[in-house]
Structure 1
Amino acid sequence: MTEVARPLPRASVPPVPLTGMGADARHAAGPDYSAIVDSEAFTALRKRFRRYVFPMTALFLAWYLTYVLLAAYAPGFMGVRLTGSVTIGLVLGVLQFVSTIAITWGYVRYARRAIDPQVAQIRQEAGVDRP
């Protein structure tokens, strides 16, 4: 005979009033995420993030698609030996890894310089203590 899983009883948590609270009570209730999302600073942060991510994504996808298309439709070109058993296809394949690392490294630098300070400011204004 199999047992039927029964739902666990719900914990009773008293509601936290959101009006007329002091700073400690607001902190306990958590940040106002809808106000953060609607803020000018958050909109600027998203724009700054997209300004790097979208072009880099498009560039990398174009580069990757070019590699795949060359491998599929130009095997003679990809098989040209540069030296010994090193072919153009092998070099371009290794460059895929190199470009991925370079884009990641570039994003980390960009984020530290342009995004992280804005995130810290938004977190501070929202009263979030964690980094």
Structure 2
Amino acid sequence: MSHDPAYRSLRRAHRRFGSRSTALAVGGFLLYVLLSSFAPGLMNSSLSGHLTLGLALGLGQFVMMAVIVWRYLVHMRTRVTPVTRGLRGLARHHDEVAARGRAAAQPPVAPGAGEFRPW
């Protein structure tokens, strides 16, 4: 199964999406931490009333995570799930063919053979 081109494309797409979304999440958080550490004047600048840039960027982390999770769900539904269903059907077909081959290769068993009679 691992040599199937559909399986390889599935793994590649999943890995690519995972690395991009992880880089985006870690990069956004790292940017927030670095700005908080090295630019406190910028982070304390007021945007509106008591809302500062630092607070807005901190709340933006939640928004960014929600967008990443939403994109992950869309990605799984549109790109991964159809390929997975196809591969699952292919695996079931291979299992059925292999089971038929094993059943044909085994010698027939006489009825009642291998059964134990009660005392």
**Which TM-score applies when normalising by structure 1?**
0.66
Secondary structure at 1:38 match in 2: coil
Count of aligned pairs between the two proteins: 93
Distance 1:44 1:109 in 2: 17
Aligned match of 2:44:
79
Aligned match of 2:106:
none
RMSD, aligned CA:
1.4
Aligned match of 1:15:
none
Distance 2:22 2:68 in 1: 9
Distance 1:83 1:117 in 2: 46
Who wins on radius of gyration, i.e. which is larger?
2
How big is the shift at 1:123? 0.8
Residue identity over aligned pairs, in percent, reads 37
Greater share of helix: 2
Gapped regions of structure 2 (runs ≥ 5): 94-119
**Which TM-score applies when normalising by structure 2?**
0.72
Gapped regions of structure 1 (runs ≥ 5): 1-35
Aligned match of 2:86:
121
Equivalent of 2:63 in 67, 76, 98: 98
Secondary structure at 2:2 match in 1: helix
Q: Which runs of 4+ in 1 moved over 4 A?
A: none
How big is the shift at 1:61? 1.3
Matched, 1:62 2:20: no
Query: After superposition, what is the alpha-carbon deviation per residue over 1:97-120, rounded to whole angstroms, capped at 9, x for unaligned?
Result: 000000110110111011100011
